[in-house]
Amino acid sequence: MIDDVEALTIEHQLRPDEQYQLDRFIVAPCYTAFTSAAQISELRIGPDRNTFGYIFPITSFRNEMGFDRKFGLIYADAGFRKFLTLERLARFQSSFSIDRGAVEQVSLDEIVSDSLSIFVASKEVLDAHDVSEDVLELMLRRCQVEISDENKSGPAFVADLEFNPGVNLSKPKIEDAEDLARLRLLLKTADNDNSEIGKFIQYYQFFEYMILKVFEWGIPHVAAGDATPWDVKDRLNDLGAERKRLQRLDIHCLPDLRDRQSQERLADSCKDFLDKVGVDRGNRTSWHSLLYLVRNSVVHNQFKLLSPDYLTALASVNICLRAVALDCFFNFEEPGADGFFS
């Protein structure tokens, strides 16, 4: 029975042995790149990889394959019962005649848009890991899941990950709640920006945030030891250079970032962009030095970039830039003194 309206009853036939109370779950509509029935993702967190939730494509609710585990079925049942309200049925409805429901059995993806998925998470597990709403949304967007109450065809950003039935999520190492709230909003705004130039500038703000922190952390080390006035001057110049701070970020502030493939893809896309717009990249090969050249082109040559070819090249940079910005941010931490002046 939906919203206590007796005239409308929607049920499923695969019940778990135990039905948990719905107030123990967060349930929300979401979009991912994976909408096939078998593409159910189990979400885990922490060093022990505790399961905290699932992503169920709407199409999976006509398929029993993904619900064979006890907790998968419990989460699916909770998601089904809590997701279905008259408001959501109206918002996400597909071209379905309600009269059919009275005489025949229909699947959920025949009633609502089959581009949709349902996010289901345990409040208890998230609370145990101290995951706030802002942190949760950042974590989900990093793994290319967009929570949204808007009826549309897919996520706002271009998804480039391969499907994984078990997704291990981590919290960002930055813990400042105010900063996290602003960065969550920045990411949402960037993802929804229809301008490739606007996307680039906003994704790059993640690096602006991190290199500002690098400068703040480095200030106490400027006059350390037996530094002479000339030493202090040289160190400040070195610390203040944006290109040098990007290098420090990469070398010293990401000790736990093991998979660097996203950085390699960003370097390749930056090379393609710079070659297309005619910028001499010299012998630069690192992602951060190439990104700095792209940043200069975007900031100082926006008029020149207003052509389909250049914007297409920038779009490829943006897909890679988003991944690297989030990889760096989630692994970003303050280095020791050697990270500033070795």
What is the full DSSP assignment across 100-163? GGGTS---HHHHB-TT-EEEEEEHHHHHHTT--HHHHHHHHHHTT-EE--S--SS-SSPP-PPP
The rounded radius of gyration (Å) of the Cα atoms in the chain is 24
- The model carries a pTM of 0.89
Boundary of a domain, candidates 118, 151, 171: 171
CA pair distance 332, 314, nearest whole angstrom: 25
Backbone angles phi, psi at 113, to 5 degrees: -55, 130
Q: Which two tokens stand for residue 305?
A: 């970039």
Q: Looking at residue 184, what is its pLDDT?
A: 96
User: Do 198 and 246 fall within a single domain?
Assistant: yes
User: Do 196 and 53 fall within a single domain?
Assistant: no
Boundary of a domain, candidates 155, 171, 187: 171
Provide the residue range defining the domain that includes 301: 179-339
CA pair distance 297, 292, nearest whole angstrom: 9
Enumerate the β-bridge partners of residue 2: 5
Total domains in the chain come to: 2
Query: Is the residue at 7 inside a domain?
Result: no
User: Do 124 and 62 fall within a single domain?
Assistant: yes
As a whole-number percent, the residues of the chain with pLDDT over 70 amount to: 93
User: Do 316 and 236 fall within a single domain?
Assistant: yes
Q: Looking at residue 319, what is its pLDDT?
A: 96
CA pair distance 24, 9, nearest whole angstrom: 23
Residue ranges in the chain whose pLDDT is less than 50 = none
CA pair distance 305, 322, nearest whole angstrom: 20
Q: Which two tokens stand for residue 149?
A: 């109450």
Contact present, 37 and 63 (Cβ < 8 Å): yes
Boundary of a domain, candidates 171, 188, 221: 171
User: Do 157 and 210 fall within a single domain?
Assistant: no
User: Do 81 and 125 fall within a single domain?
Assistant: yes
Q: Looking at residue 305, what is its pLDDT?
A: 81
